[in-house]
Amino acid sequence: MYMLFIVADTICALNISVGGGGYVAGSWSSLAPAVQSGYAAVSTDAGHRSNDSGDATSWALVSDGNVNQYLLLDFASRSIHDMTILGKAGCSTGGRQGMMEAQRYPDDYDGIVAAAPAINWNDFTPAQQWPFTVMNNEDYAPPQCEFDAVNAAAIAACDALDGLEDGIIAAPGLCSFDPASLIGNTYSCESDGSQRRFSNKTATVVKKIWQGPVTANGSSAWYGILPGTNFSSLAPTETFGNGTTVPQPFEISDSWYRNFLFKDPNYKTANISYAQFQALTLTSLTRSTTRLWGLADNLIMPNGTMHYYDQVAALDPAVGDFYRVFFTPGVGHCGGGSGPVPVDILMALRRWVENGTAPGLLEAASTYPINGTIRRQNLCPYPSISKYAGYGDPAKAASFACDSSF
């Protein structure tokens, strides 16, 4: 998970909007905690009353072959602004909604917290479909226990690159683990206790998934998931009783392809070739009339957030005065994992807005005990990193300090 702070230079209003996830624009169940904390809270359904966050079929097309541009625009930006005029952005789609507010309607909020934001939608949504396309084109779908074994090997190889062996790849940019090194080795499948052997196809599939989609000339089209990240979200597979394993699509990206690119909710995306995928990636960027805006995140590639921040920094070197990004090592999409999660983001944002005290550090703690202890670590604003000092209790925040690199 990655946290983003955006703040304007006005006084803070204690109103909170709650975003959604996937294709769902609002989250009514999340309003109660905000109200309980003393904030006015509001959410929106963006004009399409669907509870299915993974599939936009119920509202995507106004007729056969025609995208409902009005509802797509509502989902992208308009409903968020209208909701604000009437009334804390959330995580994932909620994070994207917060970022969209900051870009298009900067006067709507005095401060925004956007967690694991689904920005760069037209880029990363096709990239989410990449693992499914890879497995279909390579004619091999690894069982999830094989994916898990690859990740275990990657963590073993890259865990200590940050100076601390804690079961987390905190320096994924330094991890050069090659899955081809596993070819011929045996691994144990925890689901049935069987002993299996890594094949060439396993290495090819994993390497392509980590690499991410490429253009026709072989250059990167977008980012892949990082080594050590759970495969089961974007590369789900199903193993049958006869031992056959087949790939399954990720519902949100699959719906994007069927409904918004092919404009056919029944299109068989399993038939997409590498060449078609490359062309469709360009289609996602150019044909859609509405442009949507997103270290162990298993759904949204963290490198996309780095890319976004770097673009803002190139336009305004004083970016840290109004926008800060904090990466949380070992944390999955909107939470989960064994890494430290920010403790009180909203209060940190209030201090920034109301008192002008920008967060130099962000207090974080693991959500459950690790070896019987809650791990605490202060997170540092990107591009700096939170680095273990090399001594001291790794469960205490005092053992970490901000640095420029590992």
CB atoms within 10 A of CB 314: 9
CA distance 294 to 117: 5
- Pair 50, 24: CB distance under 8 Å: yes
CA distance 204 to 227: 14
- Pair 179, 166: CB distance under 8 Å: no
* Residue position matching structure tokens 């699959």: 254
Active-site hit among 79, 254, 333, 386? 333
Catalytic site includes residue 92: yes
C-alpha torsion sign, points 298, 300, 305, 307: positive
CB atoms within 10 A of CB 99: 24
C-alpha torsion sign, points 227, 308, 255, 79: positive
C-alpha torsion sign, points 316, 320, 324, 330: positive
Cα 150 to the chain's mean position, in Å?
21
Catalytic site includes residue 55: no
Distances (CA, A) of 320 to 6, 36, 333: 9, 31, 24
Active-site hit among 92, 255, 284, 386? 92
Region of residue 163 (left: phi > 0; alpha: psi -120 to 50; beta: else): left
43-47: long-range contacts at Cβ-Cβ below 8 A with a sequence spacing of 24 or more?
43/17, 43/18, 43/19, 43/83, 44/17, 44/79, 44/80, 44/82, 44/83, 45/79, 46/71, 46/74, 46/75, 46/79, 46/80, 47/71, 47/74, 47/75, 47/79
Query: Half-sphere exposure (CA, 13 Å, Cβ side) for 59?
Result: 22
Catalytic site includes residue 188: no
Q: Going by DSSP bridges, is the β-strand pair 61-63/111-115 parallel, antiparallel, or unpaired?
A: unpaired
Q: Could you tell me how many residues make up the chain?
A: 406
Active-site hit among 74, 123, 148, 297? 297
CA distance 90 to 76: 15
Q: Is 364 helix (H, G, I), strand (E, B) or coil?
A: strand
Known catalytic residues are: 92, 297, 333
